[in-house]
Structure 1
């Protein structure tokens, strides 16, 4: 068992927080301006989605707290758009993908990409929000307009829940948006409902408290698959890198595990750090999210400890046609078991 460094346990003083936030902001600016992608000496490079995103949550903590240096594995984080993420990571410009959606990684294996899911960070959460009093359940959506980021794996997972609840999405007028545009659609009310997830969901509720979330039937997952754990987002690596760097993979897990522990035990400090790294980030809003595990779904665990849960996600992906076959066993990294 890897010892939790003292730096990952103690809260930041106000002076320490301000210095860390300034350093973090500088780091984000460098990566946003196309800083070098190569791993630092003796370290690893990790690519993630730009904040605000779940993939940028724990990197903000890691950078501000120096948790990577405490573990002896310096990390160079870079942040980009989802489209660029796919291009850069799988062109080999980065060692590890830190915004790896499990279904996306499974789909890559169908395209003959050798990729392995190292460990999980967040379980699945999604919500459908509306201000229309006539929409009380998913079955009220046929014939109405639903804003959704239809190209995302969050939406691909949502399709399973829609079908399970008797909603045929072909009967809904889907209005495709970027993930960043979903909050705007919900705020201005140009659609009847919006499918949205964290951290945008919490920010939206803070800005529009009267908006309602309708039940998408997350409890149906357990009745179908016998588990209520839905692995969703984690770290993935190219297979050859993972095979050649088992020590680095184990240390990466320890780093992220310690960052998650700090986040949950010091929610106010963690929220301030994450807010400083996010455009228009609100620390009070993020703190409420961190303190609500039913929505944040922070769950850092080795992929090898979640084989049954991962298999359920793949079953769901096949049932909706998102996947055409079961991914190879190699998609689950065994080095952390």
Structure 2
């Protein structure tokens, strides 16, 4: 009888340890910009490498245009945002939406491109059409840098379009200039290498303004209520993104095919080169609390151009456990 009982206990223990009894991954829904965008850069890697499952999560990434993203995240329809531009988080806070920037994914880089011979500097765009995704923080940050160079951005005739449309405007030369960023910039240059880039002197202006080269720009944010209730999930989410970034850096060629599956071989080669250099991509996964000083500098820039009417709450910078 003792032998039978022992066998039963061992059998039960084996069944309990089987996959069917393992804890199910925690489902998360995260809204992101559609490709091409930085917010859509790491999600396909996370899913292809099953890094969410590895960290006990089952993430569903929902793609939206910039304007729809902002509306649906700020309303609370989505509690998590994976295209969380820092200034947009700050603006939501001062308008009464209680959100927090969990961690950074990419530092800022942006550019203006043109095919018009008469456009040599930003001031030449005054009174002319500039195609841009005006609802994005990248454009707001560009606005700040343009003003540092003496351009009157109020005189730009901005054609507002969603991020996927920017490449089309540049390819067809439908505007005097196009304001865009990575990975769209690399895709454009690979398709139309004769496109000229206007230097907006990002490093020089930021160093003069802050004394630093780091510009936290885009990451993952959450509603504070969600963050308080799900503290145990946040390190797992950070780990999934961190591991995705590390995998991308270690496997640029393979990653480019996952990130740009419909792109040509030349497109994918350009994305791989972008990953290797990282100067324009700016992939920099860090907890928000580790770049607090730099985040406050970005807020100061937002106030300087009246994008932010006041200082966002310190609660917008998530304090990671153990920091």
Q: TM-score, normalised by structure 2?
A: 0.87
Instruction: Pick the aligned partner of 2:160 from 145, 160, 176.
Output: 176
The aligned residue for residue 260 of structure 1 is 245
Residue 54 (structure 1) shift: 1.1
The aligned residue for residue 34 of structure 1 is none
Q: Report whether the alignment pairs 1:271 with 2:256.
A: yes
The aligned residue for residue 300 of structure 2 is 315
Cα contact 1:246–1:335 (8 A) shared by 2: no
Q: Report whether the alignment pairs 1:326 with 2:306.
A: no
Looking at structure 2, the residues matched to 143 and 240 of structure 1 have their Cα atoms a distance apart, in angstroms, of 45
Looking at structure 1, the residues matched to 65 and 114 of structure 2 have their Cα atoms a distance apart, in angstroms, of 27
Residue 41 (structure 1) shift: 5.2
The aligned residue for residue 21 of structure 2 is none
Cα contact 2:132–2:180 (8 A) shared by 1: yes
Please give the per-residue CA displacement for 1:225-267, whole angstroms capped at 9, x wherever unaligned.
1111111110000001111212211111111001000001110
Cα contact 1:125–1:198 (8 A) shared by 2: yes
Residue 52 (structure 1) shift: 2.2
Q: Report whether the alignment pairs 1:303 with 2:288.
A: yes
The aligned residue for residue 208 of structure 1 is 192
Aligned residues: 297
The aligned residue for residue 10 of structure 2 is none
Instruction: Return closer, same or farther for 1:148/1:94 CA change in 2, 3 Å cut-off.
Output: closer
Residues 62-81 of structure 1 aligned to structure 2 (within 5 Å): 62-81=46-65
The aligned residue for residue 126 of structure 2 is 142
CA RMSD of the aligned region, Å? 1.8
Residue 180 (structure 1) shift: 2.2
Cα contact 1:125–1:297 (8 A) shared by 2: yes
Instruction: Pick the aligned partner of 1:287 from 272, 277, 284.
Output: 272
Looking at structure 2, the residues matched to 43 and 303 of structure 1 have their Cα atoms a distance apart, in angstroms, of 23
- TM superposition outliers: structure 1 runs of 4+ over 4 Å: 278-281
The aligned residue for residue 35 of structure 1 is none
Looking at structure 2, the residues matched to 86 and 141 of structure 1 have their Cα atoms a distance apart, in angstroms, of 28
Looking at structure 1, the residues matched to 225 and 82 of structure 2 have their Cα atoms a distance apart, in angstroms, of 17
SS at 1:175's partner residue? strand
Residue 324 (structure 1) shift: 0.2
Looking at structure 1, the residues matched to 248 and 52 of structure 2 have their Cα atoms a distance apart, in angstroms, of 15
Cα contact 2:66–2:136 (8 A) shared by 1: no
Cα contact 1:52–1:279 (8 A) shared by 2: no
Q: Report whether the alignment pairs 1:230 with 2:215.
A: yes
More deviation in 231-240 or 67-76? 67-76
More deviation in 307-316 or 133-142? 133-142
Q: Report whether the alignment pairs 1:45 with 2:26.
A: no
Please give the per-residue CA displacement for 1:288-315, whole angstroms capped at 9, x wherever unaligned.
2212211111110000001111011100
SS at 2:26's partner residue? coil
The aligned residue for residue 95 of structure 1 is 79
SS at 2:279's partner residue? helix
More deviation in 150-159 or 41-50? 41-50
Instruction: Pick the aligned partner of 1:197 from 181, 194, 204.
Output: 181
